[in-house]
A and B are shown apart, each in its own frame.
Chain A
């Protein structure tokens, strides 16, 4: 990106709420299921049916608002957004237009230099998700599956405060982490339950006015969003530099070709004919209601981070990494409670386990084993039953075949050799095979011990107790 330009990015994030039932009827919100099995006359928009607002949806949205420093509106309402599409059976979405539940919030991220930066949240409102169209999947034609129709969504609209793809990435991850922490959304991107519309424009650095923006809809991968923003900003700069004008339009990002394509321009912009939903009464929230939700908000990542630094003496960096994901953080706390070794649990989570997650392209909630397993692993090492080297192999195994590490090491024969006579036997054998190292050691080269221990570990396939080896080598060589 040319240095004299900066990006201006605003996001509209749609996140499905994890309520058990839909927003306006009592159908299940469970993902999947045979087409049209999680439906009823209401979410199929049969004539004469009426919506009834699920109170949990309001509660969850208020939670999200409070967790993002929003003002909660005590006087809110639903509005109809009218448009024809077969995935929208009523021919209108029930959303919120001019009186959203939450407004004027912010979340804090780091800018590209690592300084704290507040990103404004314009508003959070509630609405219902649409159904799904299956094209040519069942013998040609298009078929409508309304299982998802009526699943509750919150739309979180940011101010155009983001200035780089890096900031966008951190904003989205932070937002996702917050929603997971307060347990209002599973944020499963692969199921489309956390997706973003990305508005991008560019302007000359120092310019007061924003440039014309383009919008990329329904993006549900962090990586794709970053690439798309980079591409789109470059494209816009190219157009401007060539003397052209940016058209306000909706684009589609194609991840395979790595390009954006025009979907529709401003001329085709739909008139949604918003008006107040007459089938629902206004949403009025009392001060006590809001206060009660505020009081019962779960602990947020910042506060956990502080606690990890103070109580467990973790480094700030480790505390931050652990608390970035509620799942990881919960696993850390659960394992720590069981084994009492916070440092070790944190190390395993942030080194080997995180590395494997990365390799497998999994989110922390993709860890297949339980906190008890991790705690057991740490205990086995602390008791000297296995070495850390074996520990690494146990972690690999836990990803393949999650079960009690005790069983794993028994089955694999990985129990550490701590029997003195057995160790002595190995030590003698290694000394006999490496006369040069003995000479080096006696000549004052202490490092030689490390080499010998390494050889002994190799000999025992990592099972010998390294402390005992160390001690016994010194004793033997001093003789």
Chain B
């Protein structure tokens, strides 16, 4: 039995049946990391020794009855922009290379409460800005399906680690597609919850009004379970909603009869790769066969979403990243003789080119004289995007689109062209703009055995509908039984 190939719900069964011990599981993952991490390069920091120690402690606690959790002893990987007390949180930036937060993010606290064991912090695009994880200061993560390809981004480390069985599941964060797009590139499941469902406290902010933490998992059931753990109101984050607690696994009915699926035709037009389109069409046929009512419609505003996204996200980022000034923590230049130079040189030397590009863009769109033309206009378009989605959800339960216009591209082919890189987000950003939940599930591979992802978008706080739709497809299609990453070059 390959322990690391099991889903979390399978691991739970094996623990329950005493087929596996908590320590067996953690050890298996540590071995897997030792074997495969050098190929995939998914981690910024591994905490294997600490994980083994923790596994022993948790085993004792479970035996003594001190800890009672279905998730006790399940390992996890955490994207390196969520604060972990005692383990550095770098955001894959030179700026925070040695930064150790004095506190835990709320999601990390929740994992700890369940006795979940962190195997380490996962690579990402610097400050979550990027779609390929190539903008990490430390390393380029490789896609387990083709080691010459990117894993997507910005949660590329999380998606690659799950796909390569380096962790059973992982937390990612999604500002414009950063969970869904890498999940699609790596053939795993990625869920971006409704804005406000999961606390952002302790997530190093990129764009506050768009950022959400969510699960990246091997299958839909695992995603529902991890969402169960991390969802919920947090008094430390006033933008988190106070909704009654749900058990999302109960939504997994394996039945889509009568489900109304809307297909926004704008997401199947120019720029979408033909093989991607073909797999999506096949997926639509499967839904029809399973009894869903599928209908094409027009989501006009979609074409403006990308521009709107980059204005709002960069504006917020330019302000959010102001705190990295070399004064209290993080990188400080050695080359300064006054305050201005301390600021300028610390930030010039500490941030990478993509982060600087977005800070400059964001500063520009907020500047007096340009604010109305850019930021204000973008906010107005944002309102229209929300309205357009509201209208769609009057008719449909879920919307179905590709997650990304293409499969994973080769490392180095886009990183020199920011605009082309930005287009990788075209299918995902409007979901963040509207604050909706979206999930990416694998729906096949292309002729080069590279995974293709399908995105299902739900109305606010209707994660259950997209989870069930994704689950039902997954049960029918059986992607994991058909395809496996090859670690080929």
Contacts and interface: CB of A to CB of B under 8 A. Distances in A.
Interface of A: 41, 44-53, 80, 82, 84, 86, 89-92, 144, 271, 273-275, 278-281
Contact of A46 (B103, B207, B315, B368): B103
Interface string B404-425: 0000000000000000000000
B191 interface: no
Contacts of A46: 83, 101-103, 329
Contacts of B315: 275
B366 A275 contact: yes
B323 A45 contact: yes
Contacts of B103: 41, 46, 49
Interface string B350-378: 00000000000001001110010001000
Nearest to A85: B339
Contacts of B238: 50-53, 279-281
B208 A278 contact: yes
Contacts of B101: 41, 46-48
Contacts of A41: 101-103
Given A52-B238, A274-B366, 20 more contacts: A41-B103, A46-B103, A47-B99, A47-B101, A47-B205, A47-B329, A48-B204, A50-B238, A51-B238, A52-B236, A82-B318, A86-B325, A86-B339, A89-B323, A89-B327, A90-B323, A91-B322, A91-B323, A92-B319, A278-B209
B8 interface: no
- List the 4 shortest-distance A-B pairs measured between CB atoms, nearest first: A91-B322, A278-B209, A273-B366, A278-B208
B12 interface: no
Interface string B197-213: 00011111101110000
B319 A275 contact: yes
Residue of A47, A89, A275, A280 with highest tally of chain B CB at under 10 A: A47
Contact of B205 (A44, A48, A86): A48
A47 B327 contact: no
B303 interface: no
Nearest to B82: A48
B184 interface: no
Nearest to A81: B319
A47 B103 CA distance: 10
Contacts of A47: 83, 89, 91, 96, 99, 101, 204-205, 323-324, 329
B304 to A, nearest CB: 20
B368 A271 contact: yes
B319 A48 contact: no
Contacts of A91: 319, 322-323, 325
A80 B368 CA distance: 14
Nearest to B321: A91
B322 A82 contact: yes
Contacts of B5: none
A80 to B, nearest CB: 5
A386 to B, nearest CB: 60
Interface in B297-324: 315-316, 318-319, 322-324
A144 B83 contact: no
Contacts of B235: 52
Nearest to A92: B319
B200 A86 contact: no
Interface in B12-53: none
A99 to B, nearest CB: 14
Given A86-B339, A281-B239, A50 B200 contact: yes
A281 B242 CA distance: 13
B268 interface: no
A90 B329 CA distance: 12
B343 interface: yes
Contacts of A144: 327-328
B207 to A, nearest CB: 8
Interface of B: 81-83, 89, 91, 96, 99, 101-103, 105, 200-205, 207-209, 235-239, 315-316, 318-319, 322-325, 327-329, 339, 343, 363, 366-368, 371, 375
A271 B367 contact: yes
A29 to B, nearest CB: 19
Contacts of A50: 200-201, 236-239
Nearest to B343: A84
A363 to B, nearest CB: 36
Given A47-B323, A48-B83, A91-B323, A82 B366 contact: yes
A144 B342 CA distance: 15
A80 B102 contact: no
B201 A44 contact: no
Nearest to A80: B319
A281 B322 CA distance: 21
B322 A49 contact: no
Contact of B202 (A48, A53, A90, A274): A48
A49 B366 contact: no
A278 B83 CA distance: 20
Contacts of A45: 323, 328
Contacts of B207: 278
B282 to A, nearest CB: 40
Contacts of A89: 323, 327-328
Nearest to B342: A86
A144 B375 CA distance: 33
A104 to B, nearest CB: 25
A41 B101 CA distance: 9
B338 to A, nearest CB: 11
Contacts of A281: 238-239
A443 to B, nearest CB: 87
Contacts of B363: 273
A86 B340 CA distance: 11
Contacts of B368: 271, 273
A52 B233 CA distance: 13
Given A46-B102, A84-B343, A273-B367, A90 B322 contact: yes
Contacts of A92: 319, 322
A351 to B, nearest CB: 53
Residue of B81, B91, B323 with highest tally of chain A CB at under 10 A: B323
Contacts of B343: 84
Nearest to B201: A50
A279 B327 contact: no
Contacts of A80: 319
23 contacts: A41-B101, A46-B102, A47-B99, A47-B329, A48-B204, A49-B103, A50-B236, A52-B236, A82-B318, A82-B319, A86-B325, A89-B323, A89-B328, A90-B323, A91-B325, A144-B327, A271-B368, A273-B318, A273-B371, A275-B319, A278-B209, A279-B208, A281-B238
A47 B105 CA distance: 10
A434 B236 CA distance: 86
Contacts of B367: 271, 273
B322 A48 contact: no
A44 B328 CA distance: 8
A86 B368 CA distance: 24
A120 to B, nearest CB: 26
A45 B328 CA distance: 9
A279 B102 CA distance: 21
B325 A84 contact: yes
Contacts of B82: 48
A325 to B, nearest CB: 38
B24 to A, nearest CB: 34
B345 to A, nearest CB: 13
A48 B375 CA distance: 24
Nearest to A90: B323
A263 to B, nearest CB: 16
A140 to B, nearest CB: 14
